Structure 1
Amino acid sequence: QTLQGDQARRLDSLASENAELQEKVKEAELERSLWEREAKKASPFLTSLRKALAKSEAALKLVQEKQIRKVKSAFKHSADHALQVKRLDEEVVTLTKALADRDHAYAELHAVSTKHFEQLQESTSLLLDGGSQPLRHAKSVIDSQRQVILRQKRVIARQGSIPMHDPHMAAAAGAGLDVPGLSPADLQLNARLCRALAARFPEVMDIPAGETRTVELVIHPRGDGTASAPPASSNSAGLSPSLDSRT
């Protein structure tokens, strides 16, 4: 009887546990059905969320590519600016050298002017003593030196270019001689050629005041058979007008 009573109690206990487990199973199934319904409701939201994440990733990728292009462009502009700065530095060096050369030329001109001024003072002191032939020659030298100084100033002011106001000087320059006459002796040496040009081409030498005339001077040897025939205004010596003279 005791054994049967124990078994009966155990059966009752198992039945009670079975009932509890069945109740829990029902609750679990109910909860599962609730979760399934919630999952079905959340499924469109999850789908849209995935789409939004995909769009966000694509937009982020585009922004990154755009930023990379901007950075590359900035580096390129920086390199271009560095090259421009280098070129400007080279131009500054060139201009500095040009200024130094001009300063040197001015210094030389000042030295020449000082020397000529001293000679002018000496010649002036001699002129005050009388009017002999040596003094008249000194006065002529002073005038020539004054013209040389003025020409040198014009050479520097015009960066080495002087307009030819004298037709004889223009003709001599067109013939290839060293004019604008930085030395009076050069003009004296050129006088014979100037007279020859003036005699052969009076239309070049007789230029009215206030007129600017442009002619051409073609020079070739007498016996040069390869030279082209001179124009009608030229003569048999092989010279024809070809210079720019200004009055």
Structure 2
Amino acid sequence: MEHVPTHKVQRDLDEINEKLRRDVIRTIEPYGIKKIAELGEMTDSERTKWFFWNMHENIDEIRTCEPALIGQVIRTQLTVSDGQSLWTEKCGLEKRIELSCKWQLLLKDGAYQSEETYALSDGWIDLSVAQCPPPHPALQENQKGYLDSDSKLYPNQLYLYGWITEGVWQEVKNELYNASANCHTDIFIRDNFLFPVKPGHNFVTGPTGSIGITNIEFRVSSQPRLTSWVKQ
């Protein structure tokens, strides 16, 4: 059997993945090419498509607006399993948290140093809790997760799959279960930790058309959540 060089196989695989990515991104281009001034007139799901397209095809320009994502946690579910793993042949304890949330996009106007926040699609955050990157989802060494949206299985949804350490979970779990109306938790993802999964960004991985994440912040506030300033 003729030996095929590994680098050629990888190059062919990269070309296939890039073609698939372009096909996916092309479907949301009509939303992505709209101006920032038009965001207020778009629906939540259209703004989500706008964000994904610009992160993939217009990243240098959108970086000037310092786009950040805010996930307002609405509901929390903890799942602990003991026994045969869902993802490997090993047995043991596995823990994950699922957070239903309302997503928002924060953009800054560099000229006026002002901020605008726009509602995005609702969705959820699914995080494994472990001391090292879990077998699922499959991530790169320093990657914390990835964002994906509007799949065939979950249309008009924005979701995050990733992982956090046990130490982080111990820090935030009491706040997530706090029933007080004067306390709320948000997931905050800064713009410099968001990277499109595409050639040149081999330090992140994820489904076709997704966005890799290298840092996740939990923000706990001891005051009622303000919603009137978010553009719907």
* Bin of the TM-score, shorter chain as denominator length: under 0.3
Relative contact order: is structure 1 or structure 2 higher (C-alpha 8 Å, sep ≥ 6)? 2
- Greater share of strand residues, 1 or 2? 2
Scaled by the length of structure 1, the TM-score of the pair is: 0.26
Larger radius of gyration: 1
